[in-house]
């Protein structure tokens, strides 16, 4: 409780930053899909390729991680807070060419992680230790809470005033929310160190080296490969949550308004998943939390693929799918902060997040192909259930890796070089 009392404003700012950042697209694209497809005549299989756009971040994401580690979350997030509202304004001015839509999505993908977990979770792990798991869960709950609140509001705006008005509303919301987040997270303390120096306030941290030296160091840890694999498999169905859920529910026979409310249950599932997993992470080994929190959504995918179309079945399935998104982000951030040099947190997390983007792209292509061949979501839903189970198992095995190869973990966090008092600079 002392940590929350001292750093509540940093936590609130990080939660608002994630909620009003690029994560809004995760909840809002579903609402824009039907009117865009209806007005411009785009094919569902083509629209599904929106999930490929995050691949644009692959080349720059590690650089963004290094930039965040070097200059702090506030400076890095400031770039995204300026660009994101401009992309929503650009969406509102589209003329109907789907390539125009993809080009704007490409720009959003380039700056998305600067107003996402890469920057804002760093604020939390810098300030919280004993309550880190729960603090991370509260931080990431900002996205589903804000998404759940905004979904009916933006949905009503789209229905009453059109999708262009909906995008203009998102531009205003993202600008105001992003500015509030920057004010609340405060300044980051960045240590200026020469090679071989270690922070005396965190003596377990290793000195950082060059880009390639740090990459080789983290890649030698078995947990790194398992975390990357876990993020890939768990996020293979990401395209469904990001842009297709309403279409999936409507294909099951639900009318548009009912489908909107059912999709809003997804955000509820994310909130539940994050709060429960966050509390558990501070008390139970993370790999045990992972196998349960990330495995349950497979039931939701199988339920959507079944012939049962009662509202309670559809709502329950969406709720279970949301649980994975709730637990996965907390677990990945928590494991990164506990297994790797904290001064390299954003750098390491950038590679874990890259796996998520690759998975989203692969899933999008797979969905496009399966929709084109079968005209149904059922095959993709069944594949997603299997991939989700494999991802949960990969995260579970990080516990085995830590026990079987303790020397790798100790090498990553053991002190090296002289420990001296160093000056910090607030930026």
CATH of residue 24 = 1.20.1250.20
- Count of alpha carbons within 13 angstroms of residue 229, beta-carbon side: 16
Top pLDDT among 378 and 406 is at: 378
**In the predicted structure, residue 386 carries a pLDDT above the cut 90:** yes
The predicted-structure confidence for 86-105, as pLDDT tens digits, reads as follows: 999 999 999 888 889 888 88
Buried (b) or exposed (e) across 355-376, using 16+ Cβ within 10 A? Answer: bbbbbbbbbbebbbebbeeeee
**In the predicted structure, residue 414 carries a pLDDT above the cut 60:** no
pLDDT of residue 402: 67
Number of CB atoms found within 10 A of residue 277's CB? 29
pLDDT of residue 6: 85
**In the predicted structure, residue 192 carries a pLDDT above the cut 50:** no
pLDDT, averaged across the chain: 79
The predicted-structure confidence for 105-124, as pLDDT tens digits, reads as follows: 888 888 877 888 888 888 88
- Is residue 51 within 8 A of residue 384, CB to CB? The reply is no
Q: Average pLDDT of 134-163?
A: 86
pLDDT of residue 103: 87
16 burial level (CB within 10 Å; 0-12, 13-18, 19+): buried
**In the predicted structure, residue 175 carries a pLDDT above the cut 90:** yes
Give the CA distances from residue 218 to residues 221, 224, 228, 341, in Å, rounded to whole numbers and listed in that order.
Answer: 6, 7, 12, 9
pLDDT of residue 121: 87
Instruction: Determine phi and psi for 426, rounding to 5 degrees.
Output: -90, 135
348 burial level (CB within 10 Å; 0-12, 13-18, 19+): buried
Instruction: Determine phi and psi for 282, rounding to 5 degrees.
Output: -80, -5
How is residue 235 written in tokens?
């996020």
- Is residue 367 within 8 A of residue 240, CB to CB? The reply is yes
221: left (phi over 0), alpha (psi -120 to 50) or beta: beta
Among 291, 84, 57, 288, CA closest to 177: 84
Residue 354 domain boundaries: 2-426
pLDDT band of residue 320 (cuts 50, 70, 90) is confident
Number of CB atoms found within 10 A of residue 209's CB? 13
Distance CA 381, CA 27 (A): 19
The predicted-structure confidence for 323-374, as pLDDT tens digits, reads as follows: 777 667 778 888 888 877 777 888 888 888 888 878 877 888 888 888 888 8
- In the chain, the number of structural domains is 1
**In the predicted structure, residue 157 carries a pLDDT above the cut 50:** yes
pLDDT of residue 206: 44
The predicted-structure confidence for 232-284, as pLDDT tens digits, reads as follows: 998 888 777 766 777 777 777 676 777 777 777 777 777 787 788 888 888 88
Among 402, 267, 427, 244, CA closest to 335: 402
């Amino acid at each position: 409780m002392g940590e929350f009392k001292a750093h509540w404003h940093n936590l609130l700012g990080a939660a608002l930053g994630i909620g009003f950042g690029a994560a809004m697209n995760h909840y809002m694209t579903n609402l824009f899909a039907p009117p865009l497809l209806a007005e411009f005549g785009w094919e569902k299989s083509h629209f599904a390729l929106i999930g490929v756009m995050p691949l644009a971040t692959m080349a720059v994401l590690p650089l963004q991680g290094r930039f965040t580690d070097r200059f702090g979350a506030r400076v890095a997030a400031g770039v995204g807070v300026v660009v994101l509202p401009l992309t929503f304004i650009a969406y509102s001015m589209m003329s109907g060419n789907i390539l125009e839509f993809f080009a704007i999505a490409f720009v959003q993908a380039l700056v998305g992680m600067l107003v996402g977990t890469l920057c804002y979770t760093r604020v939390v792990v810098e300030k919280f230790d004993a309550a880190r798991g729960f603090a991370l869960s509260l931080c990431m709950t900002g996205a589903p809470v804000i998404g759940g609140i905004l979904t009916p509001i933006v949905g009503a705006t789209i229905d009453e005033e059109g999708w262009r008005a909906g995008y203009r509303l998102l531009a205003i919301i993202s600008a105001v929310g992003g500015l509030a987040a920057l004010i609340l997270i405060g300044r980051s303390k960045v240590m200026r160190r020469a090679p071989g120096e270690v922070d005396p306030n965190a003596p377990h941290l290793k000195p950082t080296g060059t880009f390639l030296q740090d990459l080789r160091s983290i890649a030698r840890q078995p947990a790194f490969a398992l975390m990357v694999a876990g993020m890939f498999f768990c996020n293979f169905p990401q395209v469904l949550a990001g842009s297709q859920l309403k279409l999936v529910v409507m294909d099951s026979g639900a009318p548009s308004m009912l489908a909107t409310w059912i999709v809003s249950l997804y955000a509820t599932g994310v909130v539940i998943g994050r709060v429960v997993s966050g509390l558990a992470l501070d008390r139970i080994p993370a790999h045990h939390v992972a196998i349960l929190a990330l495995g349950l959504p497979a039931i939701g995918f199988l339920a959507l693929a079944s012939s049962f179309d009662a509202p309670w079945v559809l709502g329950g399935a969406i709720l279970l799918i949301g649980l994975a998104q709730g637990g996965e982000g907390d677990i990945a951030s928590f494991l990164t902060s506990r297994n790797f040099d904290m001064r390299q947190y954003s750098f390491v997390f950038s590679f874990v997040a890259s796996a998520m983007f690759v998975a989203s792209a692969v899933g999008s292509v797979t969905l496009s192909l399966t929709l084109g061949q079968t005209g149904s979501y059922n095959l993709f839903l069944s594949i997603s259930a299997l991939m989700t189970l494999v991802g949960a198992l990969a995260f579970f095995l990080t516990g085995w890796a830590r026990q079987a190869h303790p020397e790798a973990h100790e090498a990553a966090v053991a002190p090296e070089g002289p420990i001296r008092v160093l000056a910090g600079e607030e930026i």
